[in-house]
Amino acid sequence: MGRRRERISGMGLLPRMEAIVGKTVTSYRYHPVQGKPIPLGRDRQEAIRRVLDLEGKAPDAGSLRWVWDKYKVSPRFVRLAPATRTDYEQCWEEIGPILGKCLIGSLRSTDIARYMRVERASAPSRANHEKALLSNLFFHGIDLGLCTDNPARLVRPNVEEPRTEAPQPDLLATFVEWAMKQSPQRRIVALAARYASLGGSRKVEFLDLAWPQVDRAAGQIRTKRAKQRGRKRGEVVDVVAISPALGQVLDELAATRDPDCLYVFPTRDGNAYTESGFKTLWHRIMTAAMAEGILTPAQRFTFHDLRAFYATEHKRQRGALPDLHKNPATTAGIYDRSREVKRAAI
């Protein structure tokens, strides 16, 4: 390295690591066997941890927690949708305390099965999300050379009962009418529910909907379709024709619009709702509605059920399912909740 170890630039540091001592600050760098020095920043402890990681000598190197730390800064993780990244971070909060210290190469399918069936027996649906994260971590561990297979793929997911009912039109109308008499922000959420039931958009597709995307002259709304992968990411645009009922929703939103506000469904301070913020407000509204007898716990519906309501009503009124997915079978299997199927006799 060109500096003797007894000098202050090398005292207390790891081999192949040195400090550059300035008048006011000290920075650190690592000298690989070949190549240029790698800057390590000015935090001594963090610099030492980075060197241990580079040399594979960190105390937790090779553990599932170590792989998670590498995975969450990888390009593959960054390319995920923001909602998926948030969901995986919440999944890790459950996985970390139980499996975080285990060496990823020593985990077997029996360990994953026990985690899902025993440790997470009280939350089988969330356990399936956590299994998806574990599978991605094992694939990332293979890329890092820490394991040779993905045992999570050998474990069957927990059985989940898919939702099979959409809210009835009269129940939805009663709920919206009640919510429109509440606070201003609850009225915004009620109009968002009406918008979703009439246009079929996912919540993530219109939470940040801006007024320039609403073309009343052309009679259409343009939003980017979510859950697109690869080269089609952000390229598929849903063009929703504005029906008379949807036009009334837009009129009510425009009547309460602040001229300086860009968003169609704004928060109290004029910004777009976050996924978590909207979810919290929706939960509070549903809880209040049940407390006042507007709907019963058995009649309670999720916001995503409104997309199924749209698909089911579209089929009933027009005789065909709408284009909601690249694969029409997905729309039919998930969102078509018709109770009656009509056909002609021959």
Q: In this model, does residue 37 exceed pLDDT 90?
A: no
The CATH fold of domain 169-334: hpI Integrase; Chain A (1.10.443)
Amino acid letter for position 150: N
Q: Which residue has the higher pLDDT, 58 or 88?
A: 88
Q: Which residue has the higher pLDDT, 152 or 46?
A: 152
- Predicted confidence at residue 100, as pLDDT, reads 92
| Mean pLDDT comparison of 23-32, 45-54, 189-198, 254-263, highest-scoring range | 189-198
Q: In this model, does residue 6 exceed pLDDT 50?
A: no
Q: Using one digit for the tens of pLDDT, what is the confidence trace for 174-211?
A: 999 999 999 999 999 999 999 999 999 988 889 999 99
Q: What is the mean pLDDT of residues 308-334?
A: 86
Domain boundaries, the chain: 1-59, 64-154, 169-334
Packing angle, helices 305-318 and 184-199, rounded to 10: 40
- Predicted confidence at residue 196, as pLDDT, reads 93
| Helix (H), strand (E), coil (C) string for the chain | CCCCCCCCCCCCCCCCEEEEECCCCEEEEECCCCCCCEEEECCHHHHHHHHHHHCCCCCCCCEHHHHHHHHCCCHHHHCCCHHHHHHHHHHHHHHHHHHCCCEHHHCCHHHHHHHHHHHCCCCHHHHHHHHHHHHHHHHHHHHCCCCCCCHHHHCCCCCCCCCCCCCCHHHHHHHHHHHCCCCHHHHHHHHHHHHHHHHCCCHHHHCCCEHHHEECCCCEEEEECCCCCHHHCCCCEEEEECCHHHHHHHHHHHHCCCCCCCECCECCCCCECCHHHHHHHHHHHHHHHHHCCCCCHHHCCCCCHHHHHHHHHHHHHHCCCCCCCCCHHHHHHHCCCCCCCCCCCC
Q: What is the mean pLDDT of residues 37-57?
A: 77
CATH code that applies to domain 64-154: 1.10.150.130
Q: Using one digit for the tens of pLDDT, what is the confidence trace for 145-166?
A: 888 999 999 999 998 777 778 8
Mean pLDDT of the chain: 87
Q: In this model, does residue 12 exceed pLDDT 90?
A: no
Q: In this model, does residue 10 exceed pLDDT 60?
A: no
- Predicted confidence at residue 294, as pLDDT, reads 94
Query: What is the share, in percent, of the chain residues with pLDDT greater than 70?
Result: 92
Q: Which residue has the higher pLDDT, 292 or 339?
A: 292
Q: In this model, does residue 237 exceed pLDDT 70?
A: yes
- Confidence band of 328 (pLDDT split at 50, 70, 90): confident
- Confidence band of 267 (pLDDT split at 50, 70, 90): very high
- Confidence band of 18 (pLDDT split at 50, 70, 90): confident
Q: Using one digit for the tens of pLDDT, what is the confidence trace for 81-140?
A: 788 898 999 999 999 999 999 989 899 999 999 999 999 999 999 999 999 999 999 999
- Predicted confidence at residue 120, as pLDDT, reads 94
- Confidence band of 1 (pLDDT split at 50, 70, 90): very low
Query: What is the share, in percent, of the chain residues with pLDDT greater than 90?
Result: 52
Q: Which residue has the higher pLDDT, 71 or 16?
A: 71
Give the neighbor-by-neighbor strand order of the sheet with 237-241.
214-215, 220-224, 237-241
- Predicted confidence at residue 166, as pLDDT, reads 84
